[in-house]
Amino acid sequence: MWNRFAIGLLSVGFAWAALELLDHAFPPPLELATQGLSQVVLAQDGQPLRAFADSRGVWRYPVSVQSVAPNYLATLVSYEDRWFYHHAGINPLALLRASFQLLRSGRVISGGSTLSMQVARLIEPIGRGIPGKLKQMLRAVQLERRLSKREILQIYVNRAPFGGTIEGVQTAAYAYLGRGARQLSDAEAALLTVIPQSPSRLRPDRSPERAQAARNKVLKRVARIQNWPDKRLQSAYAESVASSRLRDPMLAALLAERLKRTDSSPVIHTLIDRQLQQRLEQRVASYIARFPAGTSAAVAVVENRNMATLAYVGSARFSDPARFGHIDMLSAWRSPGSTLKPFLYGLAIERGLIHSASLLMDVPTDFNGYRPGNFEAGFRGPVSASDALTRSLNIPAVDLLDRLSPEFFSGRLSNAGIQLKSPAGSRPNLSLILGGTGIQLEQLISAFAALSRGGLMAPMRLRPQDRLSERRLLDADAALVVRRMLIEAPRPGLNLSQVDTAGGRRLAWKTGTSYGYRDALALGTNSAVTVGVWIGRPDGTPIPGEFGAHSALPLLFEIADSLAGRALDEPKADGVQALDFCWPLGLPSDSTPPNWCARRVQGYAIRGLRPPTLKDRESSMAELNPLPIQLNARAERLTPACGSGTTHWIARWPKLAGPWLAPAERKLAAIPAYARNCHGPSDGSIRIIGIQNGTTLARAPSRAILQVQLQANGATEEVQWLDNERLIGRTRAGAGLLYTLMEAGPHRIVALEESGVFDAVEFTVAF
């Protein structure tokens, strides 16, 4: 008896030693269990935005056991391997039962494989038959020795086959149920339990009736094992198996590609609002349909509080090669058009150069050979800084940039994190403010968000782990003034009172158009979100007639209005004061004598700074404003050589403002003539000849066009000619201009010298 016991004990020892030897000689390929997982990019709510299949084209969304519904795990164990938590990889009783049933009936009635044995087959190809079964059993024991029960389940839920290229319970839940596996009904848990038994036969998208019958079989067994009440079982039976078709998630596709290039994590979490992303992709695709082929669009929405990117639409239609859907225009380098102007005005306000009501000049100007024009080709003469910004006038912006210097402006942008792209070896120049540089739309969005964030700029955050890295772009008070200037801009289709009362519509907005109609931009910010829109052709082909206000702005308003519920209160800034200012001096009205106040303009100033009107470019450095002059008793001007008189002060307008002033304003600012025997420097005068004031012109029947020969008699400098405030030509002193009149109606021709001397004639053209 003792001999038999010793022999048995030795046999067990030899068997254990043999198992140890086999385990070390042929370890299980556990590294395969963690290879080949798909990468999936998730929205804020954990739903997939886009997934990337593995090298074999298999969709396998990684998921942890903790993220799977507990009732699915309970159903899986109850149905597939009731004694899973108690065996060491093999269940001898289950194997004996399966063998007996096979011998008795000649077919498989129930499987003897444990979950551990199934996992062994999932991570390593194992043949059929007795040798394959023995190897599978060995691998199951090896897995149990190396891994915990939870780790074995982890492999199963990620690699179980669910038909076709679908593997893993998370992928199956999205494919067949339309949502993740975190929350499942009893019926859904049973369905996902049974499909791996015969994936091709039980796919609910192909055989919903067969899948439902198999699911009910699982429900019946699990209800018996877990002692479900009858009501729970009947409720699960009542759920139908919907026939659905697997659709790979494809939202924020370009963002997903961007993150995949830099993040190798199996699961990439983003800050995208999935529902908003879906709405905007549909809206953009619908909106862009009216544009020519090859036109694309880009849109992003950022939450100002933390710079979280709520929506990222990199192209109009990702799947449309005709619209360059594969090119991400949010990160592409394009011309900003006029969209940098708000930050130029903000810096000028911050440095005490201007306030929002400062008098600026929109007149033909030569900046050392650079002669910019306006988008609409006309000029408006004296304008406030606020009007110049909201009307996107080019001359005042270039004037301000010239006074601040392009190097200073680009340096401040760079310090805040805005990197401009210019040709190699070039230096910042005056064209920068009109779009003569490159920038990314995502940088512009960050910059505009700073107007609602107290002047602090931070890059768009794409993932929860991205740091909020802030830099100062503008002083908080200057940022608020610019924001108010942009909010008060007339919005197409709404008057100002509507803008003020509709909280979501209190949008500080600005458009931009690049040279040649290649880029149309619109950006807007309220105190909650910032929205950026770009429309154009990614290959740089012009789209004549499509510009920011026409192409991009309507889409910006559509999106901003749909986000009205997100609007918050306007940020506070104690250093900003609303005041009335007087032109032409630009000083507060309460400190300006009435005879110096030709116009009253409302505006904002910061920190007690009340800068006067900028120095006139056409005035000598010694000239003062107001200008003191000596007058005799007959109100004639005197020179020091003529004696002394009464000092009289005259508030002067910029010299080039003359053609745009009302007669009363010109009279108020006019300097009296010198006394008869008192000779001072002459201001000179010019007179337009070639057409008389107040006449009506008509084309002769024998002529196809109507032309006039114009000349400025008395001119000593270059003369700029304007018709209804549009520049029509330049002539040297004494030279004439042959002008073709193309439009019927009233005309006002102005001849203007660089010194400010001008003449004007008004007439009518009748065709």
pLDDT surpasses 80 at 183: yes
**Spatial distance between the Cα atoms of 750 and 132, rounded to a whole number of angstroms:** 99
What's the pLDDT score for residue 5?
Answer: 47
- pLDDT of 366-383, one tens digit each? 898 898 988 777 899 999
* Nearest-angstrom CA–CA distance, 329 and 441: 7
Average pLDDT of the chain to the nearest whole number: 87
CA distance 761 to 689: 9
Residue 44 or residue 675, greater confidence: 44
Predicted confidence (pLDDT) per residue in 39-89, tens digit: 889 999 988 999 888 777 888 888 899 999 999 999 999 998 888 998 887
DSSP string, 419-441: --B--TT----GGGGGT-SBEEH
pLDDT computed for residue 638 by the predictor: 85
Of the two residues 248 and 707, the one the predictor is more confident about is 707
pLDDT at residue 673, rounded to an integer: 81
Indicate the pLDDT class of residue 406, thresholds 50, 70 and 90: very high
Residue 48 DSSP one-character state: E
pLDDT at 451 over 70: yes
Three-state DSSP class for residue 714: coil
Q: What is the pLDDT of residue 125?
A: 79
Identify the burial level of 539 via C-beta atoms within 10 angstroms of its C-beta, where 0-12 means exposed, 13-18 middle and 19 or more buried: exposed
> How many angstroms separate the CA atoms of 500 and 488, rounded?
9
Partner residues linked to 41 by β-bridges: 50, 268
Residues in Cβ contact with 188 at an 8 Å cutoff, skipping those fewer than 6 apart:
72, 173, 177, 239
The strands making up 597-606's β-sheet, listed across from edge to edge, are 587-588, 576-584, 597-606
Q: What pLDDT was estimated at residue 391? A: 94
Residue type present at position 132: G
- DSSP letter at 614? P
Half-sphere exposure of 86 (CA within 13 A, CB side): 9
The amino acid occupying position 532 is G
Q: What is the pLDDT of residue 33?
A: 62
Q: Which of 390, 361, 398, 393 is nearest to 375 (CA)?
A: 393
What confidence score (pLDDT) does residue 184 get? Answer: 94
Q: Render the burial of 30-53: b for 16+ CB within 10 Å, e for the rest.
A: eeebeebbbbbbbbbeebbbbbee
Cβ within 8 Å of residue 285, ≥6 positions away: 316, 317
Please tell me the predicted confidence (pLDDT) of residue 439.
97
- With 60 as the cut, is the pLDDT of residue 683 above it? no
Contacts of 213 by beta carbon, 8 Å cutoff, 6+ apart: none
Checking if the pLDDT of 235 tops 90, the result is yes
Angle, vertex CA 306, rays to CA 302 and CA 308, nearest 5: 40
The pLDDT assigned to 564 comes to 60
Where would I find the beta strands (DSSP E) of 607-725? 627-631, 637-638, 646-650, 687-689, 696-698, 706-713, 719-723
CB atoms within 10 A of CB 567: 18
**Helix-strand-coil split of the chain, %, nearest 5:** 35, 20, 40
Distance in angstroms (rounded) separating the CA atoms of residues 55 and 209: 33
Active site residue 11: no
Q: Does residue 750 register a pLDDT over 90?
A: yes
Q: What is the pLDDT of residue 107?
A: 47
Q: What is the pLDDT of residues 480-527, one digit of tens each?
A: 999 999 999 888 765 544 444 344 458 999 999 998 889 999 999 998
Burial classification of residue 15, based on how many CB atoms lie within 10 Å of its CB (0-12 exposed, 13-18 middle, 19 or more buried)? exposed
**In the sheet where 39-42 sits, what is the strand order?**
48-52, 39-42, 267-269
Q: How many CB atoms lie within 10 A of CB 590?
A: 9
E-only strand ranges, 607-691? 627-631, 637-638, 646-650, 687-689
Residue pair 335/519 in contact (Cβ under 8 Å)? The answer is: yes
Structural domains present in the chain:
32-238 (1.10.3810.10), 251-334+436-573 (3.40.710.10), 687-766 (2.60.40.10)
Q: Is the pLDDT of residue 637 over 90?
A: no
pLDDT band for 757, please (50, 70, 90 cuts).
confident
Helix (H) or strand (E) holding 751: strand 745-753
| CB neighbour burial string for 69-89, b if at least 16 within 10 angstroms, e if fewer | bebbbbbbbbbbbbebeebeb
Question: Can you give the pLDDT at residue 619?
Answer: 60
Q: What is the amino acid identity at position 13?
A: G
Quote the percentage of the chain above a pLDDT of 90: 54
Question: Is the CB of residue 712 less than 8 Å from the CB of residue 759?
Answer: yes
The interaxial angle of helices 441-450 and 406-416, nearest 10 deg, is 90
Q: Using CA atoms, how far apart are residues 431 and 412, in angstroms rounded to an integer?
A: 17
Kindly provide the residue ranges of all beta strands, DSSP E only, lying in 19-66, ordered along the sequence.
Answer: 39-42, 48-52
Q: Establish how many alpha carbons lie within 13 A of residue 33's alpha carbon, considering only the half-sphere containing its beta carbon.
A: 17
Are 450 and 415 spatial neighbours (Cβ–Cβ below 8 Å)?
no
Lowest mean pLDDT of 476-485, 694-703, 714-723, name the range: 694-703
Question: Which two structure tokens, joined as six digits, stand for 254?
Answer: 């370009």
In this prediction, residues 440-446 reach a mean pLDDT of: 98
- With H, G, I as helix, E, B as strand and everything else as coil, classify residue 491: strand
**What percent of the chain has pLDDT above 70?**
87
pLDDT above 90 for 106: no
Compute the average pLDDT of residues 459-463.
Answer: 98
Does the pLDDT value for residue 283 go beyond 50?
yes
Q: Is the pTM of this model over 0.85?
A: no
Residue 325 dihedral angles phi and psi, to the nearest 5°? -60, -20
Tell me, letter by letter, the H, E, C secondary structure of 502-543: CHHHCCEEEEEECCCCCEEEEEEECCCEEEEEEEECCCCCCC
Q: How far apart are CA 436 and CA 420, in angstroms?
A: 10
Which one from 207, 338, 356, 452 is the annotated catalytic residue?
Answer: 338
| Residue 338 known to be catalytic | yes
pLDDT interval class at 384 (50, 70, 90): very high
E strands, 19-166, are 39-42, 48-52
Average pLDDT over residues 373-398: 92
Degrees to nearest 5, angle at CA 43 with 33 and 332: 105
Contacts of 544 (CB under 8 A, 6+ apart): 517
Query: Cβ(638)–Cβ(645) under 8 Å?
Result: yes
The mean pLDDT of 8-24, rounded to a whole number, is: 54
Catalytic residue among 38, 80, 356, 514: 80
Answer whether residue 622 shows pLDDT above 50.
no
User: What is the CB neighbour count within 10 angstroms for residue 746?
Assistant: 11
